């Protein structure tokens, strides 16, 4: 990977180490939303800078190669941090598990009151990342990607909607709620650009089409 990417990973690792040493009091504060993605104009520029090539193979892929839901602070792992961040009036027990609250899923407009009905979606799925360049990363780099709370990469959504998305890119799947599609493609391009992941021709065309209406 490039020196710039290596430095980004080093910063992420340092931030995680700092969070681990400072404990629960400095856990990420509730934002009630994932980090705001780049503007549509920036997304169009970034999309033009991405490498376009046929999607790579899934050979060798395993979710285990992207260690996720790692401890972020105290007893809280990445999933629990995102549930707290994206929910409303979320309460957690001593193990950091969400015991009450509500979660609005921007993908489909549904609201849930049980954390078990909510998945944490990787905006650019792990398998998609693997086929777009992450197969050559180190495990440390893939772990940083799978637990990235700084980019618009993790979001709490309805579980079966997330399952219908699977590892599809925007040429094959878009959020069923039309009002969220602009945010979705801006976030997708934001993540792919930051991590220097490629796009295939159909994916780029779908992103261009969606962004033209944003």
What does the pLDDT look like over 66-90, one tens digit per residue?
A: 999 999 999 999 999 999 999 999 9
What interhelical angle do 181-194 and 201-212 show, nearest 10?
130
* pLDDT 10s digits, 39-57: 999 999 999 999 999 999 9
Give the pTM: 0.85
Which pLDDT score is estimated for 117? 97
CA distance readout (Å), 40 to 142, 172, 191: 27, 21, 14
Distances (CA, A) of 109 to 11, 106, 156, 157: 35, 5, 12, 9
Asked if 107 and 180 count as a contact pair (C-beta separation under 8 A), the reply is yes
Cβ count within 10 A of residue 44: 18
Alpha helical stretches, state H, 65-138: 78-86, 126-131
């Amino acid at each position: 990977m490039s020196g710039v990417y290596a430095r980004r990973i080093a910063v992420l690792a340092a931030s995680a180490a700092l969070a681990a040493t400072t404990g629960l009091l400095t856990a990420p504060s509730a934002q009630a939303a994932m980090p705001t993605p780049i503007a549509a104009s920036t997304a169009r520029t970034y999309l033009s800078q991405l490498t376009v090539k046929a999607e790579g193979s899934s050979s060798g892929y395993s979710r285990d190669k992207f260690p996720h839901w790692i401890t972020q602070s105290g007893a809280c792992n990445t999933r629990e941090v995102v549930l707290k961040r994206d929910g409303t009036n979320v309460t957690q027990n001593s193990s950091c598990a969400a015991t009450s609250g509500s979660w609005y899923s921007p993908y489909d407009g549904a609201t849930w009151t049980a954390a078990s009905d909510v998945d944490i979606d990787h905006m650019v799925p792990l398998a998609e990342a693997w086929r777009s360049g992450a197969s050559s990363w180190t495990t440390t780099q893939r772990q940083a990607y799978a637990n990235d709370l700084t980019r618009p990469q993790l979001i709490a959504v309805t579980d079966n909607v997330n399952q219908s998305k699977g590892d599809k890119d925007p040429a094959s799947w878009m959020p069923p709620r039309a009002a969220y599609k602009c945010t979705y493609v801006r976030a997708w391009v934001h993540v792919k650009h930051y991590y220097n992941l490629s796009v295939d021709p159909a994916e780029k065309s779908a992103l261009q089409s969606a962004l033209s209406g944003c």
